[in-house]
Amino acid sequence: MGIFNKLLTAVRGGATEVGEAIVDSQAIRILEQEIRDSKKALNDAKTGLTSIMAEKMGVDRKVKDLGEKIKEHEGYAIQAMDKGDENLALEIATKIAEFEHELSIQQGIRDGYDTKVVSLKKMIRQSERNIQAMDREVSVVKTTAKVQKANDLASAKFSGSNSSLNSATDSLERIKARQQKREDQAAAAMELHSDESGDDLQAKLKNAGIVDSGSSGSSILDRLKKQKGQS
């Protein structure tokens, strides 16, 4: 069974039960057993990998030794031929043939180990990911019971009643109202501030004689007279 299926089984199991019961649910127990099994399989795989790598190192040494022996005997064979000793040269060449045969066998074994190492490493990575996923699921489900209880308590507290009918939309409305109020307050404060600073500026302008402090009546009458004269 794939990891997603296992998770789904656990989640479905949890979904049918509520609160504390989730923690004890059969599905979670199964998942926890799976985690234990996977961890054991992971350990086995790691041990297997270690011994295979050790064996591979042994074979690597053999391959290296055989390669050196072949080179060494090729030198001997050439020396024998130089001395005109064909029989000895043939004997050495036969030995070289034996070494080469052994070398190809050992190389085959080494290739086999290489493949095994790669697949074991892949398996280990996969198992580690699976275990993490299952661990996560178990912890999520386990914390759910606690969190859910607190959630119920919290909503009861905010609605000011013990009613479990307290709805998400009610909560949303309350939040929106609070936000609106905050925004209104901020806007009002801003307005007040600008009013204040505006008044302040006007006063300063008057004091500086830039704006006519006596304004109004006479200045308006002057303006109207000018307008009349123009028409």
Does residue 54 belong to the site contacting another protein (CB under 8 A)? no
| Calculated CA dihedral for residues 49, 52, 58, 60, nearest 10 degrees | -80
| Contacts with another protein, 174-203, as mask; x by CB under 8 A | xxx-xx--x---------------------
| C-alpha span between 103 and 183 (Å, rounded) | 83
DSSP assigned state of 102: H
| C-alpha span between 207 and 215 (Å, rounded) | 13
* Nearest C-alpha neighbor of 130 from the set 229, 227, 2: 2
Residue 70 or 134 having the CB closest to another protein? 134
CB of 67 to another protein, least distance (A): 44
CA 197, distance to chain mean position in Å, is: 52
Residue 22 or 96 having the CB closest to another protein? 22
| Contacts with another protein, 59-78, as mask; x by CB under 8 A | --------------------
Evaluate whether 22 touches 28 at the Cβ level (below 8 Å).
yes
Rule CB under 8 A: which residues touch another protein?
A: 14-15, 17-18, 22, 132-133, 135-136, 139-141, 143-144, 146-148, 150-151, 154-155, 158, 163-165, 167-172, 174-176, 178-179, 182
